[in-house]
Amino acid sequence: MQTDVREWSELSFDYYSTDYNVRYSYRPDRGWSEMQLSEDEFLPVPLAAACLHYGSSLFEGLKAFRGADGKIRIFRLEDTVERLQSSARRLCLPVPTRMMIIEACTEVVRKNLRHLPPYGTGAAMYLRPVEIGTSTSFGVTPSANALFVVFCSPVGPYFKEGIRPIQVAVDREQDRVSANGTGDVKIGANYAASLLPYQHAHEMGFQSVLFLDPKEHKYLDECVAANFFAVRDGKYITPKSSTILPSITNKSLKQLALDMGLEVEERQIPVEELESFEECGCCGTGAIIAPISEIYDMQTKKSYFYGREVGPVSLQLYHKLQDIQYGLAEDIHGWNTIVEE
């Protein structure tokens, strides 16, 4: 999708073509290649590539912002490096080095500056690192060859009319991941498994699905593409499970909650506890926070309500995090990477 870079306020949270992406290829006999700058939006992938048949693919998502002071900030790049490397190890793919990932992300921003939304538009530059296995085989084996790519797109705010609550459905019958599977890494297969329950919930009028733990189906796990959190009695409460992706946004919100004087609890949360929460929300890179107004249990037919307005704690956390991203608040935790132009 092409975009007129002058119409920043009209951008949706979607993909728009930019000028350049960067690429590295890997072969066992020579290791990682040098960075390659490309204007091509397509990848040279063999028909028998492992990524097309056996799910040998991973990705990340992070944002770059033009700050109030004119500086460009990439939010929590170092944390993204660690999570991407963890995903690569889990899929037995060649692991990109820390400097490869950092240089790829910063170079993509620099080469696409005309697509970086100005401060005050509510828009940002979304960065998407991707690694795919490119070895060709009909056997189910780890891919020895790989392609690592970083591309970007300007994106509008997740909520164009301002942050607002969504409705979420609990699905007890379908799982996002298996009990001892890959839920804690960011790979395409996890998202593919969530599409059918998401479509079912969407047809019923809900914007997301809250999955339960895949082993006992007793505890809250996470949403389709976001972690879950709740607020009650001065506490920020979020599920703890080996099947949950360690959200960098949730990690940030937990620290900000502590900074605000809240107690943070990361633990198993029984479904029945939903009726006791004052505020609930989903959190991730796209929206930061998507507050929840209603959670509907599709199997028990029970609904839990949290109000039509954004809760005060959720709203405060949202603005505190955004202020750090735009350079309006001091980055006391060192979360931003400044990109030199």
Q: Where are the domains of the chain?
A: 8-155, 166-325
pLDDT per residue as tens digits for the range 213-237: 999 999 999 999 999 999 999 999 9
Interaxial angle between packed helices 312-325 and 248-259, expressed in degrees from 0 to 180 and rounded to the nearest 10: 110
Q: Which residues contact 270 (CB under 8 A, 6 or more apart)?
A: 218, 219, 220
* pLDDT of 183: 96
Contact partners, residue 93, CB within 8 Å, separation at least 6:
56, 58, 131, 133, 142, 143, 146
Q: What is the pLDDT of residue 7?
A: 83
Tell me the pairing of strands 124-133 and 57-59: antiparallel
pLDDT digits (tens, 9 = 90+) for 34-52: 999 999 999 999 999 999 9
Q: Which tokens in the block code for residue 313?
A: 């704690």
Whole-angstrom Cα distance, residue 145 to residue 51? Answer: 11
Pairing of strands 235-239, 263-267: parallel
Of 156, 128, 148, 172, whose CA–CA distance to 302 is shortest?
A: 172
As given in the structure block, the two tokens for residue 183 are: 């839920």
| pLDDT tens for each residue of the chain, 341 residues long | 445 555 888 898 899 999 999 999 999 999 999 999 999 999 999 999 999 999 999 999 999 999 999 999 999 999 999 999 999 999 999 999 999 999 999 999 999 999 999 999 999 999 999 999 999 999 999 999 999 999 999 999 887 777 899 999 999 999 999 999 999 999 999 999 999 999 999 999 999 999 999 999 999 999 999 999 999 999 999 999 999 999 999 999 999 999 999 999 999 999 999 999 999 999 999 999 999 999 999 999 999 999 999 999 999 999 999 999 999 999 999 999 999 99
State the Cα–Cα distance between residues 212 and 201, nearest whole angstrom. 15
| The pLDDT value given to residue 5 | 52
Cα gap 260→121, rounded to integer Å: 28
Structure tokens at 133: 């296995």
CATH code, residues 8-155:
3.30.470.10
Q: CA–CA separation, 293 vs 168, rounded Å?
A: 8
Q: What's the distance, CA 163 to chain centroid?
A: 17
pTM: 0.96
Query: 166-325 is classed in which CATH architecture?
Result: Alpha-Beta Barrel (3.20)
80-127: pLDDT as tens digits: 999 999 999 999 999 999 999 999 999 999 999 999 999 999 999 999
What is the greatest pairwise CA distance in the chain?
59
Under a CB-based contact definition with an 8 Å cutoff, are residues 324 and 318 in contact?
A: no
Please provide residue 220's backbone torsions phi and psi, each rounded to the nearest 5 degrees: -70, 140
Alpha-carbon Rg for the chain, nearest whole angstrom, is 20
